[in-house]
Amino acid sequence: MDVLLEISYFPTPHTAKAITEGIKNAMQKWEIENLVVSITTDNGANVVAAIRDLIPIKRLSCAAHTLQLAISKGLKVVENLVSRTKQLINFFSTQKQIERLIKVQKEIGYEEPLHLIQDISTRWNSLYLALDRLIFLQYAVLQLSVNLSCSLISEEKTDGIRLKKIMIKDNEWELLDELCNILAPFEKATRDFSGNTYVTLSQMFPIITDLTNSLKPPDNSYEVLEDSDDNTINSDIVEEESLQIEVDYSNISEVLKNVKNKIYLGLKHYWAMPDEFGIMAALLDSRYKDLNFITDEETKVKIHSSLQIQYDQLKREMQQQTSTPPSPTISTISTTSTSSTPSMRSLHEHQEKRQQKVKKVFQTKESSTSSSAIADEITTYFLLPVARENKNPLDWWKSKQEIFPVLSIIARKYLGIPATSVASERLFSDAENHITAKRSLLDPALLGKMVFLKRNMKTMDHINIFPPDLDVKNNDYVEDEHELEELLDE
């Protein structure tokens, strides 16, 4: 689940320094300065610079935003067709044309009349959804064009002429259909990345690898990707005057090849350097721990070494907190016989007990591996079979917390990181819904409280999400959402 901690008025200018100070103030208010390990953002230059100043916090690029950047490279190949298709869709944006299209759908046997979908540049996948819906309603659109052109009513005939003028060609319908087949996996990937009720970061690189491999040219022949602005995605990729330019799309296979090639190069470009946090999350996700999506053995060795270092450090810290007098170091324990001091014998017995739990829970078979190696959490973790794809990794670690007391803490650190900044984008949409005509003069602080309560309503029953400086208990809130709205309106 995601929880809203802070939403507040942020005056201009939105400089990197101002953003840095705003984030620091929010973390200090919630007393989480030492708990935040990463922040996921888009590629805006001011935001990137702001997070860079928050050492040691690491910035992660929004996977959905970066994925759309790669897709936009391929769409440039068909930019003229895409723009003319948008023009066709816009024809059906008025209520009059919507009603006509629905009527035709009923006449020719569509089970459930549907509207066409407008492409919105700020919404991921909206172009794919718009094209896919247009393909589905193709016969209704074509039939309506015929009906209007043959009508004896002057207004309808005029609309028919307009519609016929912007109608796409037969081979272009086929090209759009094939284009949707290419974009469909990316639409699913974007949705998978954007979830807020399950782990997303660990599946980012496996999914990107699958997408890249599906587009890889069989002969490894591809051009060099041209540099461009990576901060924004321009959905209106063609100027108005270029709509008049005639582009030949008759060679559909060649056009599709070029589209795939450009998207492939985009994926290779934007994910050329795998992010350590993303790989670590996959390593600690029992579904992807084999790292089969990585071909570079050196990268695998580095990430395993990084995990071992973090594990050893955290284990020492936990031992120092719980042992009095301080327990011997890990290296001393591993080289000392079981007939030494009582504290050492106790630790050995503890490890033996832990090993028996592993065998009981997972039915681990006996092997030639030494008992000291199996007792190590990391070794034990990688000896276990890969989990099923539908297994929730956080649930997996929660059920094995007693077996992996140290490793489970590290796993939660990485698996809780979101792959996208979609949650904050949705937050602003929610805030806009509260600023209605009747609430246009809302005080920013009051608006922040309203959104805070609305967004965290379902979370209050599980955890205390109020700031430390507020003396509020978990049960001190209004349970009924409609009652809350009435109180806020007052």
> What is the dihedral sign for C-alpha 418, 420, 423, 428?
positive
At 450 the pLDDT is: 79
Question: How long, in residues, is the chain?
Answer: 490
Q: What is the pLDDT of residues 303-330, one digit of tens each?
A: 999 999 999 999 999 998 876 554 444 3
Supply the pTM of this predicted model. Answer: 0.78
Going by C-alpha positions, the residue among 308, 315, 402 that lies closest to residue 353 is 402
Q: What is the pLDDT of residues 452-484, one digit of tens each?
A: 887 778 777 666 666 665 555 444 444 455 554
C-alpha span between 253 and 256 (Å, rounded)? 5
Going by C-alpha positions, the residue among 190, 158, 186 that lies closest to residue 71 is 186
The mean of the pLDDT values for the chain is 82
At 209 the pLDDT is: 96
CA atoms within 13 A on the CB side of 487: 13
- Residue 55 Cα distances to 17, 52, 419, angstroms: 13, 7, 20
The pLDDT of residue 81 is above 80: yes
In the numeric block, which tokens belong to residue 446? Answer: 């009051």
| Mean pLDDT, residues 25-29 | 92
Q: What is the pLDDT of residues 162-211, one digit of tens each?
A: 999 999 999 999 999 999 999 999 999 999 999 988 999 999 999 999 99
Q: Is 291 left (phi over 0), alpha (psi -120 to 50) or beta?
A: left
Q: What is the pLDDT of residues 211-224, one digit of tens each?
A: 999 999 886 665 55
CA R_g for the chain? 28
In the numeric block, which tokens belong to residue 32? Answer: 């989480």
C-alpha span between 292 and 294 (Å, rounded)? 5
| Phi, psi (deg, nearest 5) at residue 64 | -65, -45
Torsion angle, CA of 96/99/100/106, rounded to 10 degrees? 180
C-alpha span between 265 and 74 (Å, rounded)? 9
